[in-house]
Chain A
Amino acid sequence: MRRTPLYDEHVAAGARMVEFAGWQMPVQYKSIVAEHHAVRGAAGLFDVSHMGEVELSGPGAEAACARLFTNDVRTLAVGSAQYSLIANPCGGLIDDIIVYRIGADRFWVCVNASNAAADLAWIREHEDGSCRIDDHSDATGLIAIQGPQAASILATLAPAAASLPRFAVARLQVAGVEALVARTGYTGEDGFELFVDADATGNVWRVLLDSGRDRGLIACGLGARDTLRLEAALPLYGHELGPETSPFEARVGWAVKLNRPDMVGYEALSAAAAGAVRRRLVGFFVEGGIAREGAPVFAGGSAQIGEAVRQVGNVTSGSHSPTLGRAVAMAIIERDAGEGPFEIEVRGKRRSAVVTNLPFYVKRA
């Protein structure tokens, strides 16, 4: 089991550690719900050092990124980031990623921990030898500071951070440590992600926690990260996204730019964009408990018209929404399943589920 550079910090703080994608990670410190509310109301600090970092550089790097990633990296200015996808030739997904352009011919790619090895192999296999590929994952720690107070807390250590626009990235000194600071995150709140050398990660973590305590900053685990991203309807690979899922089914079709016929998956993605998808991702409010991942979704069963109940899909992510105080779920269902009524299986019983607009939560402007 792998450990992040912050493992000792988590254990010393009394975090409950769990296995995630081969890593020992904190799922919660004291309370998932309290950590969730801290991020919505003040700020939370997350160790996401398990995520992978791959750099493509050199004269051929832009062309390689344009061919391997679905969003159009050619439109990305130096110092900016974009959400993107790695598609397979069938138009399914290998991973979802953030691409940071840190130089004219340098692209820093943040990938999911569970896919890091597969992504790296895929990129090496599919680039044509005209760019350099470096795996920085082991040498890099990643800290996310998220929430409405994140900017003011980080500004006490790195004043320039506060003026970074959303999805901008810059190399800044934070607590005397050089960090790649990006205004990105995975919570539905304002916030930053800080890529730092593994050796310096503990120091940055401690200084941030100390600096932000008065503004309500607390350490948060993967449990709160999951409820936060679910409320914001941000997809998670292995749940909403996978090798059999089209981005046009999973609400991430906007990150596919069909302007490069040499892009991997171009034909299949073009067909999907033109309507050749059979499923859609929807949000549900669920009664009678939490509908967990995999739970079947049913439609029909109207007694009046003698319609049979049939399964139309499955829950991809389900939990309790601390902000809304009720059970929510995302599910991938047949495109033609109608607008309900639906039922979802909760602990073996079919419960009423009402379709609701995604995301469940939108940050107040």
Chain B
Amino acid sequence: MEIPDDLHYTKEHEWVRVEPDGTVTIGITDFAQEQLGDIVFVELPKPDDETVVLKDEAFAVVESVKAASDVYSPISGKVLEVNDDLPDNPNAINEDPYGDGWLVRLEPKNVDDVEELMNSDEYEELIEGLTD
């Protein structure tokens, strides 16, 4: 189970990376993709000047053969970009959840909000509690 130590995590199994330009990238964790199994469908928000997501609100859906799962936004912000490759290659989330499987990039309302999220050690503890 890969849990990179430079990311922030939620208890809903999303990860957040703060980019050098102050934007943030969001995806689902290795644990989440493994629990879901083969992901075959992804629904993402449409990025335009008006599209904002709010913390803890569902903004995307990832669907595996067995079940659909909402993805909740770890922080509030404006959607700058979505991963356009995912609808044709949703399996990228399984293969590379922290890389090619990223979901959206946001301009955060307040980038300091990420400090309220878990760090990798705290997330690892959460996972261990779930899999015991």
State the A residues within 8 Å of B (CB): 27-28, 31-34, 223, 227, 288-290, 319-320, 322, 327, 347
Contact = CB atoms under 8 A, between A and B. Distances in A.
Contacts of B66: 27, 32, 223
B37 A290 contact: no
Interface of B: 37-38, 40-41, 43, 61, 63, 65-66, 68, 91, 94
Given A27-B66, A223-B65, A320-B65, 20 more contacts: A28-B37, A32-B38, A32-B66, A33-B38, A33-B91, A34-B38, A223-B37, A223-B66, A227-B65, A288-B43, A289-B41, A289-B61, A289-B63, A290-B40, A290-B63, A320-B38, A320-B40, A320-B41, A320-B63, A327-B41
Which of B61, B65, B94 counts the most chain A CB atoms within 10 A? B65
B43 A32 contact: no
A32 B36 CA distance: 11
Contacts of B91: 33
Nearest to A27: B66
Contacts of A34: 38
Contacts of B63: 289-290, 320
Contacts of A289: 41, 43, 61, 63, 68
Contacts of B61: 289, 347
Secondary structure call for the A interface: mixed
A320 B91 CA distance: 13
A88 to B, nearest CB: 32
A27 B66 CA distance: 10
18 contacts: A31-B38, A32-B38, A32-B65, A32-B66, A33-B91, A223-B37, A223-B65, A288-B43, A289-B43, A289-B61, A289-B63, A290-B40, A290-B41, A319-B65, A320-B38, A320-B40, A327-B41, A347-B68
Nearest to B40: A320
Contacts of A33: 38, 40, 65, 91
A110 B50 CA distance: 59
A143 B12 CA distance: 39
Contacts of A288: 43
Contacts of B41: 289-290, 320, 327
Nearest to B38: A33
Contact of B37 (A32, A322, A327, A347): A32
Nearest to B94: A31
A173 B50 CA distance: 70
Contacts of A28: 37
A32 B94 CA distance: 13
B112 to A, nearest CB: 34
